[in-house]
Structure 1
């Protein structure tokens, strides 16, 4: 395989979306979602409300808040870095691959998940996957460290590779995202004192997002600040009342239902082009609702 150097980055042309087989494009379009914001928020929310009832990945509520904080810090950080560095994506990153066997109802969604626009360095998907999946490897009690970090490494590698396969990042973008993700995760884990003080991670997201507001007002900064503020307020107010683990399956089901509503609000804000004030309020409500879901579920159960 030939390697091309274009601008500041390395392109592996045989992996570009326009040249890869269609079935490979479809496969990696699905894999790349493992590092997308919507999925990471949904995953962290499910683990938070589900607790030990989540097979193989169950964690307590305090660790769940730590993971939610990682997601929000990632969103804040990537918003600041990309708005400051302003390094381009590979040529053709905004061009969708051929739509084969994709029903017309899913065509727009397929285009969204296989293309990208705006600055490309570092890769947000690589950064987010490294922070969140690496964070899960740190806080999950089940299995050995080798197995947990091995699984996290496979996920991060596949997500990073998917960005190359889809042709939306240079190799240096994903490499920088992984390295930065490892460094930031280590700092946040230390700051939270081994996840025992997850509110500090939420405050970190607020601080980084606030820097983003002064550097260059971005959607990501507003999302991160709103979500972190909402989650921090609810956690600081009700942490003592939130059970560390759910007591019944019914409580889990109700809490998951509340969490799905919160995720829907978060997703709607993330997709729809709404004023920043509504973005802030929407994400604050979404994350605050997710963090408060265990209490809401006890009221409703």
Structure 2
């Protein structure tokens, strides 16, 4: 085990982390958000709620629910993997780069998005980007497969590179995250029959999240099980009442507004780690509200 850790820590001998110019670090700090939990949840929520009213990438709500389920499964899975493997991050991963050009009001946020703590293997951003963006490429009906998976490949590559530039992962971390992501996405897509049975993926997230509580009780594992349970319960009760697409533009806008509020709650809770009970209830409420947004939007409109 010790020899493996030595090999693991030598796979990227600080060739990128901390060496890039400040402007490059700032750029990749923004790019890395494309694989962050808050953005993936927001993206999947907008696609789910907006349906065909989302320009160019509109999909049926059932397949949008599949993408949300992928996000929840990713959050649950990464907690279990890191909790079992417990492999370290590169030295300096918890130290932010110099705060140049950053207004003081955004200083804390910048530190959060450019640093990382806890186990590093595999990369959660690489895993999440591969699963979610790859899932989108599978279910979106616009454009050719080559174009859709080409865009996915670019996004996953940039997100993975951003983790190296920021110095919070080794190369083997992001490589493993991509490989795990491809394998898991393939299994979940088969299980959900190309996204048409998202409830199966939601249940998978509940099972993995429950396992995570026993493997390693952390904020991430509690957030994962909270979101998965809240999402699964609400979907079981409202799935039949949710049309594949909004019936009017007003309904879509109203539902999107509700979904944006839910996504904001989820993002705030995930960024600012709170007590476990609060985290469980908040993520369950946020995800449940996002999934019920089409019904709420229909009634309000």
Shorter-chain TM-score tier: over 0.9
Q: Trace 1:272-291 onto structure 2 (pairs within 5 A).
A: 272-291=272-291
Q: Runs of at least 4 residues of structure 1 off by over 3 A?
A: none
Aligned residue number for residue 38 of structure 2: 38
Note the alpha carbon deviations across 1:74-110, whole angstroms, 9 max, x for none. 0000001111111000111111111111111111111
What does residue 14 of structure 2 align with? Answer: 13
Q: What is the alpha-carbon distance in structure 2 between the residues aligned to residue 21 and residue 12 of structure 1?
A: 18
SS at 1:15's partner residue?
coil
Aligned twin of 1:174:
174
Would you say the 8 A contact 1:35–1:126 is kept in 2? yes
Please give the per-residue CA displacement for 1:215-234, whole angstroms capped at 9, x wherever unaligned. 12122221111111111111
Residues 219 and 273 in structure 2, CA contact (< 8 A), matched pair in contact too? no
Contact residue 75 and residue 220 of structure 1 kept, 8 A: yes
Structure 1 residue 54 displacement after superposition: 1.0
Segments of structure 1 that go 5 or more residues without pairing to the other structure are none
User: Once the 2 structures are TM-superposed, how far is the Cα of residue 263 of structure 1 from its aligned partner?
Assistant: 1.1
The structural deviation recorded for 1:53 is 1.1
Counterpart in the other structure of 1:196: 196
Q: CA deviation at 1:7?
A: 4.9
CA distance in 2, matches of 1:272, 1:96: 17
Query: How many positions carry a matched residue from both structures?
Result: 296
Cα shift readout 1:169-196 (whole Å, capped 9, x = no counterpart): 0000000000000000000001111111
> What is the DSSP-based 3-state SS (H/G/I as helix, E as strand, rest coil) of the residue aligned with 2:185?
helix
Find the aligned partners of 1:50 and 1:260 in 2 and give their Cα distance. Answer: 11
Contact map agreement 1:14 1:20 (CA 8 A) in 2: no
Corresponding position of 2:114: 114
1:268 deviates by: 2.6
Q: Does 1:62 align with 2:62?
A: yes
**Residues 1-301 of structure 1 mapped to structure 2, 5 A cutoff:** 7-9=7-9, 10-11=11-12, 13-16=14-17, 18-301=18-301
Taking the aligned partners of 1:96 and 1:271, their CA distance within structure 2 comes to 16
Aligned mates of 2:214, 2:84 — CA distance in 1: 11
TM-aligned CA deviation for residue 300 of structure 1 = 0.7
